[in-house]
Amino acid sequence: MTERIILSIVAIIMLILTIQRNKKLPIILTSGLTIGILITWTENPMVIMFGMLIYILSALFVAIYGLKNKELLKYEKVIISLTGLFSFTANLFAFMHYPFAYEIGFSMIIPLTLFLVTLGKGMIHKSEFGLMTVLNVDFLLRFINLWN
């Protein structure tokens, strides 16, 4: 419950920040992530499943966006794409109850480390900062959950 509250608050704040930066595609991607998170607050399992699906597809589109965006530097493209791919894979494995879904949580340290590297190189000033923060807070909460 606490994780959902934290993730929801971060997603809303990052959506507002992304809207202020006024770039169309990052706004759409961050909106998809935020809507996917907020829909999971309902009590209906079918609606929760739909919200998780929105989040998973948004993460996949983040990976594609990272590859296709020509304005980003090469290392930013790689890091954004990997972050989207890690999120897509981890959520898909959890959603579909595939084997090793729990073990994938240990790999969340990779995108977290890459995110910290990009923060040091100025990612905070880019319009992709919002969607990267939402995904990495999700990674951090998953990684912390492994130890509980």
Query: What value does the mean pLDDT of the chain take?
Result: 91
Please state the rounded mean pLDDT for residues 107-122.
Answer: 89
pLDDT of residue 32 exceeding 80, the answer is yes
Which residues lie below 8 Å from residue 138, measured CB to CB, with a gap of 6+? 7, 87
Look at residues 30, 29, 134, 135 and name the one whose alpha carbon lies nearest to residue 90: 135
Q: Taking residues 5-33, what's their average pLDDT?
A: 94
Predicted pLDDT at 72? 86
Domain ranges within the chain, ordered by starting residue: 2-145
For the stretch 66-103, pLDDT in tens is 999 988 889 989 999 999 999 999 999 988 888 887 78
